[in-house]
Amino acid sequence: MEVIEKQPENSLQEKLISLVDKISIASVQDKKNLIKKDDFLLLLQNKDLIFDYTRNKANQIRQENFSNKIYIRALIEISNYCKNACYYCGINCKNQNIQRYRLSSEQIMECCKTAYELGFRTFVLQGGEDIFFTDEIICKLIKSIKEKYPDCAITLSLGEKSKESYALYKQAGVDRYLLREETANSEHYQKLHPKNMNHKNRLECLRSLKNLGFQTGAGFMVGSPFQTLDDIAQDLCFIQSLKPEMVGIGPFIPHEQTEFAKFPSGDLNLTLFILSLIRIMLPKVLLPATTALSSINPEGRTLGILSGANVVMPNVSPMEQRKNYALYNNKASVNEESAEGLILLQKQLDKINCKIDFSRGDYQQ
């Protein structure tokens, strides 16, 4: 608001403000007045002019919908084996320099126990696309977790599967599924992935997850190699039409043993700006301040929350395996990023007048 008073003569700024307001209005009108790609692009090109206004609006919308509550999810990294060779990812199958591990069902149950005792009521099972974890093994595991912790939500983040597999997971009791599209532009997708990976299939997976009734998470990395602002605008359009219940947005961070080792990390402020646009577009979305954001800036998590994020996902994987789940270098997994650090987390949240919410934190219409 301050910005308007200071520079009433600046017509570009007025246009940008009315565009941000339009995103907000469109979000409650459902399907009417969807924002066009060129409008998102204009905002991205001029983010510095509209950054504070957008962030304040996003932060306000977060408070209106969730008051001062921040949901926590226990992240369990179940395997770093992966059959894919995504060029950006440190656990891609071509990387011979990492020690591979796979948690046993007993170890995963143990992680759930630790997390439950700490107060977590959502378990996120994330891993590479590890062929060891057949549908049968996954479903058995899900059923055991649900049986022992019927008051908890389960989120899976295990990559692309067939519609039939997703249906089995749903039947077994999975509540949520995270699968970032990585980019909505198929040409860009092909620059990030080898030929055997297919953009159409990725998008179909997301549609299937939505249709099966999962709380579905989409998203992308900010500043991934070859990404343009136009690509990001396309992702924003994609997310606007998909209306996922969760959105994962974090900066790209290079990993030294990947093809993209020499590319720079994604920009902090651009990431924060995009988080704000997503919060304004989808007021009730579950939006984590991601580990990648904390990894590029020690204040990343707080800044993310002040830009509209309302979820954090501390790591509860066994300590000795955490270093091996390095999707990128210098990944935060200790202190506030870990489960042991819930007290530290609360202290961090105190400073911005927020508090941990220990409920399941499902998406509410």
Instruction: Give me the residues that bind ligand 5AD (CB under 6 A), please.
Output: 88-89, 180, 182, 221, 250, 252-253, 255, 292, 327-328
Rank residues 57 and 193 by Cβ distance to ligand 5AD and give the closer one. Answer: 193
By C-beta, is 250 or 308 nearer to ligand 5AD? 250
Q: Is the Cβ of residue 169 or residue 252 nearer to ligand 5AD in the bound state?
A: 252
Distances (CA, A) of 54 to 40, 81, 159, 258, 277: 13, 40, 32, 35, 7
* Minimum CB distance to ligand 5AD smaller for 121 or for 331: 331
Which structure tokens are listed for 240? Answer: 């606007």
Q: Which of 126, 127, 177, 121 is nearest to 146 (CA)?
A: 121
Q: Which is nearer to ligand 5AD, 13 or 338 (CB)?
A: 338
Work out whether the CA dihedral 117, 364, 249, 162 comes out positive or negative. Answer: positive
Phi, psi of 91 (to 5 degrees): -100, 20
- The nearer residue to ligand 5AD, 165 or 257, going by C-beta atoms, is 257
CB of 58 to ligand 5AD, least distance (A): 21
3-state helix, strand, coil in the chain (%, to 5): 45, 15, 40
Element (H, E) at 340: none
Place of tokens 């949901």: 71
- C-alpha to C-alpha distance for 231 and 213, rounded to whole angstroms: 28
Q: Is 177 helix (H, G, I), strand (E, B) or coil?
A: strand
Q: Can you point out the beta strands (E) in the chain? A: 69-72, 74-79, 122-127, 153-157, 176-178, 215-222, 246-251, 311-312, 355-357
Shortest spacing between CB 261 and ligand 5AD, in angstroms: 10
- Nearest residue (CB) to ligand 5AD, 27 versus 338: 338
Long-range contacts for 105-111 (Cβ within 8 Å, ≥24 apart)? 105/137, 105/140, 105/141, 105/144, 107/318, 108/76, 108/78, 108/141, 108/145, 109/144, 109/145, 109/148, 110/318, 111/74, 111/76, 111/316, 111/317, 111/318
Between 39 and 235, name the residue whose CB sits nearer to ligand 5AD: 235
